[in-house]
């Protein structure tokens, strides 16, 4: 990406088409308009992952479903770390734009690309070398062990594409453009479906075919996205000169993004631990929980979209010295997210089996998934509050606290509760699943306390723009 942006980027302060400036005018309506493309992108990204499970579930046996479930959780852990770190780029860019320093955006993007290239190289080697230990650590059932290893190694080979995909999304959300990430995910989703149908449905490659389709889809999406970007006008100049390892800029991205990445990583590790606990119960519980987790991805789409949208919206307004608009956005986001959460909670609790039938044919797997989903029905309501306020804190630059509360919930509540419930005979997947809403309750209490502290602190200090230095 050396000269990609030179052609049409000579207007340093020019506005990019479809770029949102959130520091003036109405609050809720532009936030919703910004969140909708993110929501559609999350839907397609969730579908992107769910298609693997759906097609493998229809054309393969429970062992292959379990392999995709376990392997995808390992890869989701990697992806979550990258997405969290890329949030540092999103927040820094948004802050610069809100503070009227959009011309510094090129340096932020250039330094971010070099940072993520280095990380990608390390992760690729690690996934290839340690796929077997990872599968063993996850207690992958014997019927699914070899397929799990294959899945991780094939996906690991495409790590650079996964990283490029998420970095591009982080950049464009930072400048207020949520449409390009949506286009990128749509391309990836279509390519993944085609690959799954061919490799899994047609050739019978099972989990390995699903992994290969995933890598192919990411590669196609990144290439096409770059071609689109070359024809766009950015609100800052960008050329090969911007590719510099500026310690200060890299440090800012890492300082903002690493706490989020660490929190996301450790939360994923907590779910990996739960997956390992469930795997030890046998291949049917493993496959059932795997199916349920794919459904949960759809259930949590709205609060997840708001969390990302809030980060960019709040970052711009805090940079412009408008904390009042940031708080109004938080209230509006919670209200609309909760309204949707009530509906999804109902379907998850009372019709979980119907949803599970989309991803599995085995009646025992469907029953296990439905049982686990009842616990997530409770969490649907709670995360409407938690995810929105986490996005608010990220946009305020309070990423260290987001990390702390996430770690507390994961390791003080989620893992211990799930382990204890797995020891209660007879084992109930509903009881194991209750570890997640229990963790959310603790995190909400921590967030509420921190929000009150911030509010009192702001009263004692004059309102000044929060600019990342």
Q: What is the pLDDT of residues 151-198, one digit of tens each?
A: 999 988 888 888 887 788 777 777 777 677 778 778 888 888 898 889
Per the domain annotation, does 412 fall within a domain? yes
Per the domain annotation, does 6 fall within a domain? no
Per the domain annotation, does 73 fall within a domain? yes
- What torsion, rounded to 10 degrees, do the Cα atoms 180, 403, 417, 287 define? 30
Per the domain annotation, does 8 fall within a domain? no
What is the per-residue pLDDT for 447? 94
Helix or strand run (H / E) with residue 43: helix 28-59
Average pLDDT over residues 100-117: 78
pTM: 0.68
Place of tokens 């094939």: 154
Per the domain annotation, does 41 fall within a domain? yes
**Token code pair at residue 438:** 């229990």
Give the whole-angstrom CA distance, residue 299 versus residue 65. Answer: 20
What is the per-residue pLDDT for 143? 81
Q: Which is more confidently placed, 391 or 245?
A: 391
Q: What is the pLDDT of residues 406-464, one digit of tens each?
A: 889 988 998 899 889 888 888 888 988 899 999 999 999 999 999 988 878 777 665 54
Place of tokens 């479809």: 18
Domain count, the chain: 1
Per the domain annotation, does 209 fall within a domain? yes
- Full domain range(s) for residue 44: 28-460
Which residues have a Cβ under 8 Å from the Cβ of 74 and sit 6 or more positions away?
A: 134, 138, 152, 272
Q: What's the whole-number average pLDDT of the chain?
A: 81
Helix or strand run (H / E) with residue 424: none
Per the domain annotation, does 416 fall within a domain? yes
Whether 421 contacts 432, CB under 8 Å: yes
Per the domain annotation, does 407 fall within a domain? yes
């Amino acid at each position: 990406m050396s000269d990609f942006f030179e052609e049409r980027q000579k207007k340093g302060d020019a506005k990019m088409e479809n770029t949102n400036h959130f520091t003036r005018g109405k609050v809720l309506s532009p936030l919703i308009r910004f969140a909708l493309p993110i929501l559609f992108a999350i839907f397609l990204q969730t579908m992107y992952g769910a298609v693997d499970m759906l097609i493998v579930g229809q054309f393969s046996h429970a062992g292959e479903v379990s392999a995709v479930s376990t392997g995808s959780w390992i890869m989701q852990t990697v992806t979550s770390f990258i997405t969290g770190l890329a949030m540092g780029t999103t927040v820094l860019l948004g802050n610069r734009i809100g503070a009227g320093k959009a011309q510094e955006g090129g340096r932020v993007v250039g330094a971010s690309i070099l940072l993520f290239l280095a990380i990608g190289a390390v992760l690729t080697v690690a996934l290839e070398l340690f796929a077997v230990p990872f599968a063993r650590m996850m207690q992958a059932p014997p019927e699914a062990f070899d397929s799990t290893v294959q899945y991780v190694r094939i996906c690991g080979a495409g790590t650079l594409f996964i990283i490029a995909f998420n970095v591009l999304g982080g950049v464009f959300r930072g400048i207020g453009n949520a449409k390009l990430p949506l286009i990128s995910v749509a391309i990836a989703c279509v390519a993944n479906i085609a690959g799954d149908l061919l490799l899994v449905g047609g050739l019978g490659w099972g989990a390995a075919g699903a992994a290969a389709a995933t890598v192919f889809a990411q590669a196609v999406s990144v290439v096409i996205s770059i071609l689109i970007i070359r024809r766009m006008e950015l609100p800052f100049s960008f050329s090969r000169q911007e590719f510099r390892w500026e310690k200060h800029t890299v440090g800012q991205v890492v300082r903002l993004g690493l706490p989020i990445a660490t929190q996301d990583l450790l939360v994923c590790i907590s779910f990996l631990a739960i997956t390992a606990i469930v795997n030890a119960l046998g291949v049917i519980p493993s496959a059932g929980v795997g199916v349920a987790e794919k459904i949960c991805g759809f259930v949590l789409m709205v609060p997840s979209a708001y969390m990302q949208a809030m980060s960019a919206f709040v970052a711009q307004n805090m940079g412009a010295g408008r904390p009042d608009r940031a708080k109004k956005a938080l209230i509006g986001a919670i209200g609309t997210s909760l309204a949707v959460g009530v509906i999804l909670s109902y379907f998850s609790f009372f019709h979980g089996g119907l949803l599970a039938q989309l991803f599995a044919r085995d009646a025992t797997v469907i029953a296990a998934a439905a049982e686990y989903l009842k616990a997530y029905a409770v969490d649907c309501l709670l995360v409407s509050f938690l995810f929105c306020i986490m996005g608010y804190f990220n946009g305020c630059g309070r990423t260290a606290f987001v990390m702390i509360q996430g770690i507390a919930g994961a390791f003080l509540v989620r893992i211990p509760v799930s382990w204890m419930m797995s020891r209660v005979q007879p084992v109930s997947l509903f009881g194991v699943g209750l570890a997640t809403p229990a963790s959310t309750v603790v995190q909400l209490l921590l967030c509420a306390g921190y929000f009150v502290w911030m509010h009192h602190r702001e009263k004692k200090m004059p309102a000044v723009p929060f600019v990342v230095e």
